[in-house]
Amino acid sequence: MDSWKEAASLIIIVDDKSSSSSSLSSSSQSFSILMTKRSAKSSFLASAFVFPGGHLESSDFSPKWWTVFNQAGFNHSKVNLVTNRINGLRSPIISECQTQSAAREQLTSSTESNLLPADIGLRICAIRETFEETGVLIASNSTESINLDSELLEKWRPKVRESSENFIQFCYEMKIAPNIWDLYEWWNWLTPNALGHRRFDTMFYIYCTTIRPKANSDQKEVSDIEWYTPNELLELHMQKKAFLAPPQVYELSRLSNFTDYQELMKFSSDREPNGVERWIPLMNGYQDGSTLFLPGDDMYETIKTKSNDNQSIRSMPTLEQARSSVTNLNRIEFRVPIFQAFCNIKLNCGQISPLTFSSNILKSSL
């Protein structure tokens, strides 16, 4: 198995115009995003604001899920609609899912064929981890609305955190199923070697809702939960008041293109059939910082084949000089502790390019 863990993450979008628990933000964007702040004691991305999510588990593909879906009123055909609605590029985390393969090895030949498809298991993972970290349960039942007692949910959260198998039992006893149908594929990021020994191949999903769910941190992996518009959080990051990892900066910068909730929701569903690419950023150092190059950037293939050298920092160009020396940009620049996305190319799979955020974006909308 390759030296990374597979994971799923969820971008939860709420319509601030419709949400009764929120007033419209002072920015021009009419939607907010749920962000979790990782514990300061975390060994990975301590104190960073990230989208909820976590490791993929073998239980996310368990054949037991078919019974859960069936009891909730969803047959095989309904469940497989998620797989059938995508006809574009399939990322390796879908076509060659390592965790799914490990789950297959644990099964007998009689049950192996009932293993959940990768893109369903990944959605279950995103929903399960979001429930663990935030208490937000994205579930459905074909016959009635879901209205579970909050005390009951809090009782199950530590059980699910203790074992992912318990999420299957929880859904079965509650006669509900993970709402996989309202999660849309967004993008796939793989941590580069240059960013440390802990690497994650993470599928990002997006989920849009008109009702802001009640959320509270687990006080273990997550220390705090906040709702921000993309521009608000990027502004805090530029002011060094919020630490963000590179994928979060890039995806928030993508979401800066949208001002209206309905527009974003339509784009997410319309784009999904095109599939997603898996991006592996490549890092290179410069006089005043570092750059993470992404596919499509003129420097991406050059950095991929570049041999290590002993060039002194003083002889290196600055970030701006390196940027101005090429035509096609798709990169994330890093000046401690701030990341900033730059992209001027048309991306594959119908995905939208990020805007380069600067503080005047937010000021001009006030």
In the chain the domains, ranked by start, together with CATH numbers, are 5-272 (3.90.79.10), 278-350 (no CATH)
Structure tokens at 337: 């502790």
Residue 132 confidence (pLDDT): 95
Question: Of 118, 17, 12, whose CA–CA distance to 58 is shortest?
Answer: 118
The answer on pLDDT for 42 being more than 80 is no
Question: Residue 290 is inside which H or E element, if any?
Answer: strand 289-293
Q: What gap in Å lies between CA 333 and CA 324, rounded to an integer?
A: 13
Residue 32 confidence (pLDDT): 97
Structure tokens at 180: 């996989």
**Sequence-distant (≥ 6) Cβ neighbours of residue 328 within 8 angstroms:** 296, 297, 298, 344, 345
**Sequence-distant (≥ 6) Cβ neighbours of residue 257 within 8 angstroms:** 352, 353, 354, 355
Lowest mean pLDDT among 36-50, 206-220, 234-248, 292-306: 36-50
Question: Of 362, 357, 114, whose CA–CA distance to 248 is shortest?
Answer: 357
Question: Which DSSP state fits 238?
Answer: H
Question: Residue 48 is inside which H or E element, if any?
Answer: strand 48-50
The answer on pLDDT for 145 being more than 70 is no
Residue 360 confidence (pLDDT): 56
Q: What gap in Å lies between CA 217 and CA 132, rounded to an integer?
A: 9
| Residues 42-62, mean pLDDT to the nearest whole number | 88
Task: Report the mean per-residue pLDDT for the chain.
Answer: 90
pLDDT of 78-124, one tens digit each? 999 999 999 999 999 999 999 999 999 887 655 556 999 999 999 99
Residue 17 confidence (pLDDT): 84
Of residues 308 and 251, which shows the higher confidence score? 251
On whether the pTM is more than 0.85, the answer is yes
